[in-house]
């Protein structure tokens, strides 16, 4: 793949640039104190309680401070585009600290995790509950790949597939609530065994270091066979999550508002598509550093 600077500058469409509609926000003083819990994480799996011990609280405070760093960096940017190195470092550190938080709470709750490299059944879900800062850094990790366009096309097809299941569920289950129909659409999508386009040939994650939080916290204690679509509702199947403290969820919502310039969607494939199209439409490769 040729470098961005070697390409001719694309013709810009007429009309205002999105950054003109959303000018950079002024740098504000952020209180480093933890935010109060605002809302709970929503995942289609069993939620396990975290330990309110000194280790968990310390790691939660560290995660919160890293998100504050990411917000400050986003306000320091003069125009929308690639995340700054400091922003990417903050997100990578956030994910690393969450890993420590997860390991501590798994050990404290005496949980046996059966997941392992190449066990990729959970990688057949339609990936939801992804945050804008994660999508921004995820895209940065793949945008120089030679297969970028084919990856984006695969994301588009998976989004269209899920939208088809949503329409099916609206027609087939009119008496169900919108939330329940959404869950049913996710179940039907999972039943198709449609793998994540970022899976490597050996069944391992091909973007492991950049994978979003939702992929990191989705675990199982039961045997891998219970993660198969036909067995996932078995009474012996145990899929669970250990999310960060709810105050971290509230901070993440603030980060989303600070960094979103392309119309982020909480589902990974759609949001990546939107960011990719935004960059092709508005960002001049010759001017990007």
Structure tokens at 26: 């002024």
Give the tens place of pLDDT for each residue, 224-241.
888 887 787 788 888 888
- Does residue 271 sit in helix, strand or coil? helix
Q: Are 38 and 250 in contact (CB under 8 A)?
A: yes
Using a pLDDT cut of 70, give the percent of the chain over it.
80
Mean pLDDT of 75-103: 93
CA atoms within 13 A on the CB side of 123: 23
pLDDT band at 51; cut points 50, 70, 90 = low
Give the tens place of pLDDT for each residue, 150-181.
999 999 999 999 999 999 999 999 999 999 99
CA distance linking residue 246 with residue 179, whole number of Å: 21
pLDDT band at 37; cut points 50, 70, 90 = low
Buried/exposed 206-220: b ≥16 CB within 10 Å, e otherwise: bbeebbbbbbebbbb
pLDDT band at 260; cut points 50, 70, 90 = very high
Q: Which long-range contacts (CB under 8 A, 24 or more apart) does 234-239 make?
A: 238/46, 239/45, 239/46, 239/122
pLDDT at 50 over 80: no
Go through the chain and tell me how many residues it has.
Answer: 289
Mean of the per-residue pLDDT values for the chain? 83
- Does residue 101 sit in helix, strand or coil? helix
Give the tens place of pLDDT for each residue, 107-140.
888 888 888 887 888 899 999 999 999 999 999 9
pLDDT at 18 over 80: no
More confident residue, 265 or 202: 265
Structure confidence at residue 126 (pLDDT):
95
Q: Are 48 and 217 in contact (CB under 8 A)?
A: no
Q: Are 283 and 261 in contact (CB under 8 A)?
A: no
Structure confidence at residue 48 (pLDDT):
57
């Amino acid at each position: 793949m040729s470098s961005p600077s070697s390409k001719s500058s694309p013709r810009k469409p007429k009309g205002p640039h999105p950054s003109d509609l959303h000018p950079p926000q002024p740098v504000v003083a952020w209180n480093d104190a933890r935010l109060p819990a605002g809302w709970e994480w929503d995942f289609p799996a069993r939620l396990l309680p975290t330990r309110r011990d000194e280790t968990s609280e310390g790691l939660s405070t560290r995660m919160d401070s890293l998100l504050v760093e990411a917000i400050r960096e986003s306000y320091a940017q003069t125009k929308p585009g690639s995340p700054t190195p400091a922003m990417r470092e903050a997100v990578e550190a956030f994910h690393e600290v969450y890993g420590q938080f997860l390991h501590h709470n798994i050990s404290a709750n005496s949980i046996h995790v059966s997941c392992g490299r190449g066990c990729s059944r959970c990688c057949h879900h339609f990936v939801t509950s992804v945050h804008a800062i994660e999508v921004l850094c995820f895209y940065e990790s793949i945008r120089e790949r030679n297969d970028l366009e084919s990856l984006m096309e695969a994301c588009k097809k998976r989004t269209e597939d899920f939208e088809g299941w949503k329409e099916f569920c609206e027609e087939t289950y009119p008496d169900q609530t919108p939330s329940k129909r959404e869950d049913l659409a996710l179940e039907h999508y999972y039943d198709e065994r449609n793998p994540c386009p970022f899976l490597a040939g050996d069944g391992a994650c091909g973007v492991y270091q950049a994978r979003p939080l939702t992929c990191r916290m989705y675990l199982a204690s039961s045997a891998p066979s219970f993660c198969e679509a036909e067995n996932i509702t078995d009474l012996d199947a145990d899929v669970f999550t250990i999310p960060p403290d709810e105050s971290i969820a509230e901070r993440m919502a603030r980060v989303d508002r600070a960094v979103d310039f392309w119309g982020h969607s909480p589902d990974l494939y759609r949001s990546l598509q939107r960011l990719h199209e935004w960059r092709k439409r508005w960002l001049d490769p010759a001017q990007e550093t």
